[in-house]
Amino acid sequence: MNDQATVRAAADHFNVSKSTVHKDVTERLRAINAGLFEEVQDVLIYNKATRHLRGGDATRRKYKLDT
């Protein structure tokens, strides 16, 4: 939560699938802790808004290594 982790990074950290993490933070967390749910939703929205930038950076790094 504190480091704006992506769903993929959280899944790796907890050793579960991305689907499990996504379901936990979008459905199950609401019933457990509504305040934390709202904070996590902000992180998900931010990550969704910036994912095209992360993808572009990954592509740039990939082709920079090839030269």
Encode pLDDT of 4-30 as tens digits.
888 999 999 999 999 999 999 999 999
Distance, in Å, from the CA atom of 24 to the CA atom of 1, rounded to the nearest integer, reads 13
Confidence (pTM): 0.70
The DSSP string of 10-63 is HHHHHTS-HHHHHHIIIIIHHHH-HHHHHHHHHHHHHHHHHHHHHHHHHHHHHH
Domain total in the chain: 1
Instruction: Name the one residue in this structure whose structure tokens are 């950290």.
Output: 13
Does residue 1 lie in a domain region? no
Distance, in Å, from the CA atom of 16 to the CA atom of 8, rounded to the nearest integer, reads 10
Does residue 18 lie in a domain region? yes
Does residue 2 lie in a domain region? no
Distance, in Å, from the CA atom of 22 to the CA atom of 19, rounded to the nearest integer, reads 5
Query: Confidence class of residue 1 from pLDDT cuts 50, 70 and 90?
Result: low
Average pLDDT, integer, range 51-61: 82
Average pLDDT over the chain reads: 89
Domain that holds residue 41: 7-66
